[in-house]
């Protein structure tokens, strides 16, 4: 995450600094340990940091050779210095991290002098330093020393003060930063006031990014569609929305994990964020899904006006699930653009076909799982995602073309579940058909056939279960009247969870096994994701 803050320092500096006014000039510091170095995400992030030439990023590596299970030699013997040098970092080794304060100061000074690459300062320390019986031992890694060992450590270090007492000289040393910090802040505020006079447009954008206040009327940029609009994959419709939002939201940026041409996530009016072009907004993450998600978390948490999106195939959320969970835990409003959302992706086969993923993210707290069915719902999903700054949004998007359906709307998406068609009088249809994404069109076609037979049929789009759950009881009753127990759902994924919407007498059409390799039309027919299956189920339950 701290790597990201420096990435943002670079891009914000490039966008807003002027030859006569440098308003973004901070360094970013990271502290990490042996366990961090073992995790794969550290290599993903460190590789990108070097590639981007983040020269004001300084990482302190606490090299104490101890992890929870014991000495790191049992599992971790690589040469970290050479790895980081190979990645493109400047590396400094402070051999006496316990008391070598002057060495540490000198290392920081050297690191600041290196402008074209990040710096790793390896600081070799002794874990539990000063403890006569537990230092340099895994026993001090996750456990308290205990009263006796604390006393022994105090004596060993010659520390005469009672617990939690801060000696006066230490207090005076640190308290000087209070006035110094206030002076630095006042100096910056004066500098920014002058900047605002000279560069009013840039200052307004900068303040929007820092405050999170969205430009007035930004949502009007979202495209709208009619049933006469051409059919298209929601991944393509997503790109239209991304490019529309990038024009009106100064803090909107993101990219894909080496799949931009397939996820359709390039911002056409911007170039690539690179070492020499840090002002651009297309981020090339490479095949680093976990690192990508973590980086976007950092962007979202840096400033409330920064709105990051990242993309890959929906099935590859398995590689970045930990980052998505951190998004939810940290209340980071990341927009996850996940294409190839079902068996509809076809010939890539079951390895690439997400079956259980919709259900799994619906089970994750503080996540908005959205699966739009057409252009208006895609626009609605983006509106919801931009507005929800305290929770991540996942947009599951199709590879195959979908029709623009009558009755869908941006406003409907904001309710999570809403009626797109109903030929019943009053509020008691014979049967309610529900769908999401590409299967909403199938439900609509089934409804047309059932109506020809004299049935009163309601079709409901359930683009987001979470948003529907947040509506009033009265609204939910207006969409799903308790008295109507004849309900059928259709979704090209696991049926797990649909029971709460269809009830005990309803029927869920879905896929509770892995997919297969075949063209979309053929595989849908093979797995019974068809209008005929919906019609048969509707007759069965009504």
Name the nearest CA neighbour of 468 among 407, 396, 414, 508: 414
Q: Which residue has the tokens 């402008």?
A: 115
- H/E element, 263: helix 260-263
Based on the number of CB atoms within 10 Å of its own CB, is 183 exposed (0-12), middle (13-18) or buried (19 or more)?
Answer: exposed
d(Cα 341, Cα 443) in Å, to the nearest integer? Answer: 18
Write out the two tokens for 384: 């919801």
Is 354 within 8 Å of 491 (Cβ atoms)?
Answer: no
Contacts with 47 (C-beta within 8 Å, 6 or more apart), sequence order: 87, 286, 288
> How many other C-beta atoms are found inside a 10 Å radius of the C-beta of residue 418?
24
Question: Interhelix angle for 2-16 vs 289-302, to 10°?
Answer: 60
Assigned token pair, 242: 């991304």
The secondary element (H helix, E strand) that includes residue 308 is: strand 307-313
Of 399, 273, 289, 265, nearest in space to 337 by CA: 265
The H or E element containing residue 458 is strand 457-462
CA distance linking residue 404 with residue 401, whole number of Å = 10
Tokens 């397939």 sit at which residue?
262
Structure tokens, 352: 């690439």
Contact predicate 395/335, CB 8 Å: yes
**Cβ contacts of 169 within 8 Å, gap of 6 or more:** none
- Token output for 303: 């400033």
Tell me whether residue 289 is one of the annotated catalytic residues: yes
CA distance 289 to 311: 8
Annotated catalytic residue, options 44, 149, 202, 289: 289
Element (H, E) at 103: helix 101-113
Q: CA 229 to CA 240: how far, in whole Å?
A: 14
For the chain, the farthest-separated pair of C-alpha atoms sits apart, in whole angstroms, at: 91
Contact 510, 476 (CB under 8 A): no
Buried b (16+ CB within 10 A) or exposed e, 39-72: eebbbbbbbbbbebbbbbbbbbbbbbebbeeeeb
And the tokens for 535? 């019609």
The residues assigned a catalytic role are: 289
């Amino acid at each position: 995450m701290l790597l990201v803050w420096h990435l943002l320092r670079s891009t914000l500096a490039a966008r807003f600094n002027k030859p006569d006014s440098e308003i973004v000039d901070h360094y970013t510091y990271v502290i990490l340990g042996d366990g961090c170095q073992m995790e794969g995400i550290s290599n993903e992030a460190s590789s990108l940091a070097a590639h981007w030439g983040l020269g004001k990023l300084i990482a302190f590596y606490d090299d104490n050779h101890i992890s929870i299970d014991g000495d790191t030699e049992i599992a971790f013997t690589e040469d970290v210095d050479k790895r980081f040098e190979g990645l493109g970092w400047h590396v400094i080794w402070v051999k006496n991290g316990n008391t070598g304060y002057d060495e540490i100061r000198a290392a920081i000074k050297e690191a600041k002098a290196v402008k074209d690459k990040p710096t790793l300062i390896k600081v070799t320390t002794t874990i539990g330093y000063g403890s006569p019986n537990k230092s340099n031992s895994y026993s001090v890694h996750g456990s308290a020393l205990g009263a006796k060992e604390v006393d022994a450590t105090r004596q060993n270090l010659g520390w005469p003060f009672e617990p939690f007492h801060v000696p006066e000289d230490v207090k005076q040393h640190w308290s000087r930063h209070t006035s110094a910090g206030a002076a630095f802040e006042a100096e910056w505020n004066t500098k920014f006031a002058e900047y605002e006079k000279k560069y009013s447009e840039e200052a307004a954008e900068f303040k929007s990014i820092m405050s999170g206040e969205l430009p007035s009327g930004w949502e009007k940029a979202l495209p709208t569609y009619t049933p006469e609009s051409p059919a298209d994959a929601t991944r393509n419709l997503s790109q239209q929305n991304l490019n529309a939002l990038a024009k009106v939201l100064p803090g909107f940026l993101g990219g894909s994990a080496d799949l931009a041409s397939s996820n359709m996530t390039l911002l056409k009016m911007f170039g690539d964020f690179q070492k020499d072009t840090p002002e651009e907004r297309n981020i090339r993450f490479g095949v680093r899904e976990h690192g990508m998600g973590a980086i976007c978390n950092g962007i979202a948490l840096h400033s409330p006006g920064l709105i990051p999106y990242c993309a890959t195939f929906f099935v590859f959320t398995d590689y970045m699930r930990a980052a998505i969970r951190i998004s939810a835990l940290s209340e980071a409003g990341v927009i996850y653009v996940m294409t190839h959302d079902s068996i509809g992706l076809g010939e890539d086969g079951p390895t690439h076909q997400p079956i259980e993923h919709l259900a799994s993210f619906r089970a994750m707290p503080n996540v908005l799982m959205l699966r739009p069915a057409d252009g208006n719902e895609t626009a609605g999903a983006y509106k919801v995602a931009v507005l929800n700054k305290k929770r991540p949004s996942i947009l599951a998007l199709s590879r195959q073309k979908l029709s623009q359906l009558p009755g869908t709307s941006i406003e409907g998406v904001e309710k999570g579940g809403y009626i797109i068609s109903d030929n019943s009088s009053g509020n008691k249809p014979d049967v309610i058909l529900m769908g999401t994404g590409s299967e909403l069109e199938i439900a609509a076609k089934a409804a047309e056939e059932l109506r020809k037979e004299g049935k009163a049929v309601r079709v409901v789009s359930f683009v987001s279960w979470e948003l529907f759950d947040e509506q009033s009881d009265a609204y939910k009753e207006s969409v799903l009247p308790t008295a109507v127990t004849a309900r059928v759902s259709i979704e090209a994924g696991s049926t797990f969870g649909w029971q709460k919407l269809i009830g005990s007498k309803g029927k869920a059409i879905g896929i509770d096994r892995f997919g297969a390799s075949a063209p979309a039309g053929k595989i849908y027919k093979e797995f019974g994701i068809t209008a005929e299956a919906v019609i048969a189920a509707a007759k069965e339950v009504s």
